Chain A
Amino acid sequence: MNFIVNILSLGIPFSVALLIASLGEMFNQRAGVFNLGCEGIMAMGAFLGMLVPYSIGQGGPTSGMYNVLGLGLAMVVGALLGIFFAFVVVTFRAPQGIAGIGLQMFGVGTAGTLFRHFIGGTQSVPGIGNLPIPGLSKIPLIGPIFFSHNILVYLAFLFVPLAWYILFKTPWGLRVRAVGTNPRAADSIGIQVNRVRYQALAVGGALAGLAGAYLSLAQVKMFSDEIIAGRGFIAVALVYFGHWHPVKIMGGALLFSLAQALQLAIQGQGINFPYEFAVMLPYVMVIIVLAFSRESQLLGPTSLGKSFNREKRV
């Protein structure tokens, strides 16, 4: 039983960075733009998230406030990078894939350069500690699995119903879905397609920045320029995996992370199983699920990846 509790209690915090970044990417893609630069924005978020507490709040009595400032800075810069990306792919209608790869390289490279300039070598911060919920965290089995994590874990899972509500129950969510499905029809009823895409990319960027800051401030509490290590691309894949729906995306992030926790537990138990296969397990599971998804489920928003030109005839 302890074995299972360990897997579940580790898998949940492991999933948070992927979950937050995927929800952000979902807003991007629902608006018709896929942002492969998610990895770069996460890298910038990870660096800026720890820069504030490292520079001015190193373990002091107000370090909690500096953590919040770090998270805020990561989100603001993430949103600005999202807007910058929108400027390139929405206003100038550059190919989204190429521009996204450029943003990824730019973000990772810039974060690494700034890190070397402002911090130097790998350093750690006290970061965000766990916040066991009084009473609930003491419940046998349930407590350690669900109620003994840091505050960002709880917030990340609250984002799921919030994202669902925003996407499916608010006028803005309807506009996002409209411009991602049929921008010409949306335009004909007065929705400003490009403005909505800018807004969606800003939200997506802010969440990607927050996801990066989660890694550097809450999960490992340190930064190096390889901290993201492909998680931004996994977040993009999880949006497809979750069929652009917040709850299914959460399921995908949890499946991936629980598989990760499971493979670590398998390795640790000395089960005679090649570790290379164990390390591959989470990725293989995602591929299997994608392979067995119906094609119609993987089509996504019908205008995904297509730029919108009001003057262009169809």
Chain B
Amino acid sequence: MKKFLTILFCLALISGSLFAAGSNEAPAEEVDSNVVKVALIIENTIDDKGWCQAMHDGIIAAQKSLPGRIEYNYTEKMKPVDAGSAARQYVAQGYDIIIAHGAQYKNLIMEMAEEYPDVSFAFGTSAEVGPDNVFTYMPESEETGYLSGIIAGMTTKANVIGLVGPVDAGDAARYNRGFVLGVQAVNPKAKIMVAHSGSFSDFVKAGEVAQSQIRSGADVLTGSSQQALGALRAVADYPNEEIWWVGQDIAQIHINEGYKVIAASSYNYASVIEGLVAKLDAGVLGGEVIPLNFSNGGFVFEFNPALETMYAGEIEEKVNAAIDSFNAASGTINYTSVDYSEL
């Protein structure tokens, strides 16, 4: 009896865990051959107000801009070790392209691409050119970082600015270095405190980083990835003080803490998805790197209208001038020149 109950308990735990992991898989259906079936695999959730939500929102937007062309499904909370089974199910269901949203899925995608050469795969961020059936994408986020840096450099009164990074890699590293260059372009005397939480998702630690920087005198902060929400929350712990945030996700303007967000940029993955659909239509399954930048519509930027008095005038002019220059030509920010040890 006891053994039976113990086994029952274990089964309950396993089923509870599986239920908790969630699934959004739909049964395979016969679809119009004109429809491109897109599957998304993410490590967080579609409403994380960060990295994963940006891709999900982009696919939804692309569905609207290409009516009837995209069938979409997604699976959340997939660690790289678990993502293989989800990806194989999508292959079995006849999906045309499987997007694994994160560089952590690289090995999985490379294996799958070899196993299923007729299916297209995509992952990012990565600037590497993949096999013939793998697309990679790379946000050139030094551009959005540069805009945030201009705003922070011109807003700070203490001349101390906080930068809450997740890890020094990928688009986060490009954003941070672009931010440093943006600050230095408008306020070379400002001290920039760069610190990393060591995690893309641990917003408790990001909050601790921000608290540390605020106590050290920072009055404008920024940060990227999901962890940045914790840092923004720490800024909002000073509701009556002149401590501000510049965001790397426009959704941050519209949450409770948005009254602290002067402006924010976002990735517009809709342009990536539309580009992928066009390439699949042309019979190209991969072998290309797709950049995201202002000139190809991969980025969007918004000021917070509620804080117009803070940016109207010189800040707005400088930001708009920078956006115009990015629209004219990409790759103009030499982010690799930044050395944090010299700040």
Residue A105 at the B interface, CB < 8 A? yes
Known contacts being A103-B13, A220-B203, A227-B203, is A14 close to B20, with CB within 8 Å? no
Q: Tell me if B194 and A88 are in contact (CB < 8 A).
A: no
Q: Tell me if A220 and B204 are in contact (CB < 8 A).
A: yes
Which residues of chain A come closer than 8 Å to B106, judged between CB atoms? none
Residue A179 at the B interface, CB < 8 A? no
Q: Is the interface of B mostly helix, strand, loop or mixed?
A: helix
Which residues of chain B come closer than 8 Å to A121, judged between CB atoms? 45, 47-49, 53
**Min CB–CB distance B41 → chain A (angstroms):** 17
Interface string of A10-22 (1 = CB under 8 A from B): 1000100000000
The one of B13, B77, B209 that contacts A264, using a Cβ cutoff of 8 Å: B209
A270 to B180, CA, bound (A): 13
Q: Tell me if B16 and A106 are in contact (CB < 8 A).
A: yes
The one of A88, A105, A220, A222 that contacts B17, using a Cβ cutoff of 8 Å: A105
Q: Tell me if B215 and A9 are in contact (CB < 8 A).
A: yes
Residue A269 at the B interface, CB < 8 A? yes
Of chain A, the residue at the smallest CB distance from B201 is: A226
A224 to B202, CA, bound (A): 9
Tally A-B pairs: CB < 8 A: 137
Which residues of chain B come closer than 8 Å to A275, judged between CB atoms? 168, 195-196, 198
Q: Tell me if A229 and B204 are in contact (CB < 8 A).
A: yes
Give the interface segment out of B3-11, B118-126, B147-155, B281-289.
Answer: B3-11
Residue A169 at the B interface, CB < 8 A? no
Interface string of A210-238 (1 = CB under 8 A from B): 00000100011110101101010000000
A215 to B236, CA, bound (A): 16
Which residues of chain A come closer than 8 Å to B13, judged between CB atoms? 102-103, 105-106
Interface string of B193-217 (1 = CB under 8 A from A): 1111111011111011101110110
**Min CB–CB distance A156 → chain B (angstroms):** 16
Residue A92 at the B interface, CB < 8 A? yes
The interface size of chain A toward B, counting residues with CB under 8 Å, comes to 48
Residue A267 at the B interface, CB < 8 A? yes
A108 to B202, CA, bound (A): 15
The one of A110, A264, A272, A276 that contacts B208, using a Cβ cutoff of 8 Å: A264
Which residues of chain B come closer than 8 Å to A105, judged between CB atoms? 13, 16-17
The one of A108, A124, A227, A265 that contacts B216, using a Cβ cutoff of 8 Å: A265
Which residues of chain A come closer than 8 Å to B257, judged between CB atoms? 124
**Min CB–CB distance B11 → chain A (angstroms):** 10
Residue B2 at the A interface, CB < 8 A? yes
Residue A268 at the B interface, CB < 8 A? yes
A93 to B237, CA, bound (A): 47
Interface string of A269-282 (1 = CB under 8 A from B): 11010011001000
Q: Tell me if A270 and B193 are in contact (CB < 8 A).
A: yes
Q: 7 A-B pairs, CB-CB below 8 angstroms?
A: A6-B212, A6-B216, A94-B9, A106-B16, A124-B256, A224-B226, A275-B198
- Residues of A that sit less than 8 Å from B by CB: 2-3, 6, 9-10, 14, 88, 92-94, 99, 102-103, 105-106, 108-110, 112-113, 116, 120-124, 215, 219-222, 224, 226-227, 229, 231, 260-261, 264-265, 267-270, 272, 275-276, 279
The 6 residue pairs across chains A and B that have the minimum distance between CB atoms: A109-B20, A121-B47, A267-B195, A279-B198, A268-B193, A272-B341
